[in-house]
Amino acid sequence: MPTQAKPPRKTGLAHLVAAAGYSAGGLRRLWQEAAFRHEMLGLLAMPVVLAIFGASLTHYVVFAGLALLVIALEALNTAIECLVDHLIKDWAEFARDAKDLGSLAVMCGLLCHALLLIHVIAS
């Protein structure tokens, strides 16, 4: 793979615009993951469920924070998978472990949503 010179560092407003573009690119890449699309369906359904059970504004704010956390965890999990798949083409225990640990992180985020829902239902 040929190497390229590192591009000059952006500062100020140009840095903010570039960072927003990088984040949008990450979201486009993440959308390619079926697991992420499934999680988004669940996250879109959750406010309806919260409304049915009479959730408070605080519950919605906590839900929104947890939703952002799940998106961040799924992005990191996908990044781990991309790197592992690039580094090794065959099966390796470290590759399985890295992917499993990333998956566990996402599951923990989703379980936080389940705990919130249990709390709202019990309230």
The pair of structure tokens assigned to 110 is 């989703």
Any domain includes 102: yes
Q: What is the mean pLDDT of residues 48-59?
A: 96
Active site residue 74: yes
Count of domains for the chain? 1
Any domain includes 14: no
DSSP letters of the chain?
Answer: ----PPPPPP-HHHHHHHHHHHHHHHHHHHHT-HHHHHHHHHHHHHHHHHHHTT--HHHHHHHHHHHHHHHHHHHHHHHHHHHHHHH-SS--HHHHHHHHHHHHHHHHHHHHHHHHHHHHHH-
Any domain includes 65: yes
Q: So what's the pLDDT on residue 48?
A: 95
Predicted structure pTM score: 0.85
> CATH number, domain at 51?
1.10.287.3610
Any domain includes 1: no
Any domain includes 93: yes
Rounded mean pLDDT of the chain?
Answer: 93
Any domain includes 55: yes
Chain segment 31-51, per-residue pLDDT in tens = 999 999 999 999 999 999 999
The pair of structure tokens assigned to 75 is 């992005």
The amino acid at residue 74 is E
- Asked if the model's pLDDT at residue 72 lies above 70, the reply is yes
Any domain includes 20: no
* Residue tagged active-site, from 33, 74, 81, 93: 74
Q: What range defines the domain where residue 40 resides?
A: 33-122
- Asked if the model's pLDDT at residue 1 lies above 70, the reply is no
Q: What is the mean pLDDT of residues 8-36?
A: 92
107: confidence class by pLDDT, cuts 50, 70, 90: very high
Any domain includes 96: yes
- Asked if the model's pLDDT at residue 4 lies above 90, the reply is no
